[in-house]
A = this chain, B = another copy of it.
Amino acid sequence: MTTLTSLLAQYDLVRQATMALTQALSDEDCCVQSMPDASPVKWHLAHTTWFFETFVLERFELNFKPHHRAFRVLFNSYYNGIGSQHPRPRRGLITRPTLAEVEDYRSNVDARMAALILIAAALPPARVAELVQLVILGLQHEQQHQELLQTDILHLFSCNPLQPAYATGDVPPVARVLPLEWQQYQGGVIEIGYADDGFCFDNELPRHRQFVEPFTLASRLVTNGEYLAFIEADAYRNPVLWLSEGWDWLQSQQLTQPLYWRQIDDQWQEFTLHGLQPLDLQRAAIHLSYFEADAYARWADARLPSEAEWESAVASQSQKHASQSLLQLFDTAWQWTSSSYGPYPGFRPSADAIGEYNGKFMVNQYVLRGASCVTPVDHSRTTYRNFFPTGARWQFTGVRLARSV
């Protein structure tokens, strides 16, 4: 079990990691919202802090007094149980509080959190357990926003004709791509869902049985080179390859390629956190929507895996500890599954506002598994369920193919 000492150390690490991600950004970069789906960096910094203030300090601090009354509404994301929130598409209008004031807010809450954790040993054990649980939830929540912060800044910079780069160092080289292999799995009655005694989100529970037919899974993700062949086969102009809603989506936005691909003077480029780069055909194709993933799979005479297939295959690999037959599981891009995001049999959200965390989004979204190159390294699990609507493209999302046997 997490001790209070290690809890504070973890807290500090995660909170500092967030700030480290903003090093290269100006006040202006941190303030602007590039589309309703994205949030300003400053909002991420404040909202994650609001989470600790609201769900931890307010419940545990003696004589609780909020750092700033208005922040309670401004930085509430969507918790209806907690009161009003500032409308999401208007987050970018909040030039005040300034970035410096939000950093003060973070410092203030960090100090109060440290004080609280230091004296918590004096609490009854059940209260300590509750505290630990909430702090860990807050840190997991903050790690989710570390990823979102980077996806949102990438989108913002992609809208700027000056094409600024977020990352400063060299582009990390990519290992030469290995030939795609099809790994075989037996299926049968398998179990999925979290079973360990560490942290998981409520949507990973309860662990339960599913029946899975035999299937094969691709050893790696689809590459840019492979996806380019799909484009060059005129796939974006062929309705037969697309789900009906996907085709309408494509047509209404006149899409011809992935979100961050640019064709400049007959050369393919990709806009990345390192700015505009020549398209590397060896790298995994990313920033793909569900519709694109599904259409590519159809074209490749394959399909997307279900989340039960994905999880059972990956779990079996972990157990063997031996051959790494499935590559690019957690370090490259989230992988679309064919599974609509819904509750596991027996799922029950928490009773209070924390219960709004996951359950209320369980409709018209699809599950992604694995993790991406911008996911914090200690924030991935075999049972982790990420989810986005079918048209979302600004996340680090790619494709692992499957086939029925």
Which positions in A face B, CB cutoff 8 Å?
26-32, 34, 42, 70, 73-74, 78, 80-81, 86, 90, 92-99, 156, 159-162, 164, 189, 208-213, 239-240, 242-247, 290-291, 294, 303, 338, 340, 342-343, 345-346, 356, 360-364, 390, 404
Q: Give every chain B residue within 8 A of A73 (Cβ-Cβ).
A: 161
- A-B contacts besides A26-B95, A93-B160, A245-B363, 15 pairs, CB < 8 Å: A26-B98, A27-B27, A28-B28, A29-B96, A31-B32, A78-B244, A80-B239, A80-B240, A95-B156, A95-B160, A96-B164, A208-B213, A213-B346, A338-B342, A346-B404
Q: Which of B29, B86, B303, B390 contacts A95 (CB 8 A)?
A: B29
Least CB separation from A32: chain B residue: B95
Also in contact, A70 and B211, with CB within 8 A (given A98-B26, A338-B342): no
The 6 closest A-B pairs by CB, nearest first: A340-B340, A80-B239, A28-B95, A211-B211, A28-B31, A93-B159
Q: Give every chain B residue within 8 A of A362 (Cβ-Cβ).
A: 243
Query: Are B28 and A99 in contact (CB-based, < 8 A)?
Result: yes
Q: How far is the CA of A240 from the CA of B346 in the complex (A)?
A: 19
Q: Which of B80, B98, B240 contacts A28 (CB 8 A)?
A: B98
Q: Is the interface of A mostly helix, strand, loop or mixed?
A: mixed
Most interface-central of A90, A95, A162 (chain B CB within 10 A)? A95
Query: Are A245 and B364 in contact (CB-based, < 8 A)?
Result: yes
Q: Give every chain B residue within 8 A of A363 (Cβ-Cβ).
A: 243, 245-246, 290-291, 294, 390
Q: How far is the CA of A364 from the CA of B108 in the complex (A)?
A: 44
Query: Are B243 and A160 in contact (CB-based, < 8 A)?
Result: no
Q: Which of B27, B29, B32, B345 contacts A404 (CB 8 A)?
A: B345
Q: Give every chain B residue within 8 A of A212 (Cβ-Cβ).
A: 345
